[in-house]
Structure 1
Amino acid sequence: MFGPFRPTFSLFGGLLWKRPWRMSRPQKYRLRQRLRRVDSIVATVDAALSKKGLTTRSLERWKAEMPTEEEMRPKDKYTMFDRKVKGYRKGVHKLPKWTRISQRLNPPGY
């Protein structure tokens, strides 16, 4: 076990994933800005299409189902439902690709 190919300390145990259990203040700020940016893009596309008298099914469905950033509770903004976790919630930053996937909808009551 001695020499150039000895195991590293992370393989001996200890904290392997250094992801904090809650989001930092700048992470929350950037998340809110991303949500607002998506809301503004949806509003801009909707205004442009309505000016031409057009509409799309996917845009109407988004507006009907997805809440805006102001309508979301902080619990839904920063956490997501996970049935495997003790309190059924985990931080949204623990989801892979959490900056690119919309997590606006969660089951009611959790």
Structure 2
Amino acid sequence: MFGIFKPSPVAMGGLLWKNPWRLSTPRKSRVRQRLRDVDDVVATIAASGVECKPLTRALYMPTEAEMPPKDKYTTFSKTSRGFRKSVHKVPKWTRLSLRTNPAGF
């Protein structure tokens, strides 16, 4: 259709950005692989003998194997019901370190 009845993403299906409420199995495996990749980089830099504040902070964080699934796939959120929300709902969640949560929730 053309003109004023031209379909738009909002008119055709509601929300423009559809985000699943739960992580799929392949997405969960990519989360774990991303955490392992970061662990490898931190271990390599620590083995090289470099000392800096971010590296010291990263060495105190748990590795992927030490993290419970609750912390791998969810993060603290004061506005969400139950004070947890899925990591893929966090803006720029692949660039942030979400390994530690406040108050051990």
Provide TM-score, normalisation by structure 1: 0.79
Identity, % of aligned pairs? 54
Larger C-alpha radius of gyration, 1 or 2? 1
Cα distance in 2, alignment partners of residues 97 and 67 from structure 1: 21
Structure 1, unmatched stretches of 5+, are none
User: In proportion to residue count, which structure has more helix?
Assistant: 2
1:15: Cα distance to partner? 4.6
* CA deviation profile, 1:48-78 (whole Å, cap 9, x unmatched): 11xxxx52233122212x1111111100110
Query: Following superposition of structure 1 onto structure 2, how do residues 42-53 of structure 1 map, counting pairs within 5 Å?
Result: 42-49=42-49
The total of aligned residue pairs comes to 103
Match of 2:21 in 1: 21
CA RMSD across the alignment? 2.2
Q: Is 1:95 aligned to 2:90, yes or no?
A: yes
1:109: Cα distance to partner? 4.2
Using a 3 Å threshold, how does the CA distance of structure 1 residues 11 and 85 change in structure 2: closer, same or farther? farther
Provide TM-score, normalisation by structure 2: 0.82
Structure 2, unmatched stretches of 5+, are none
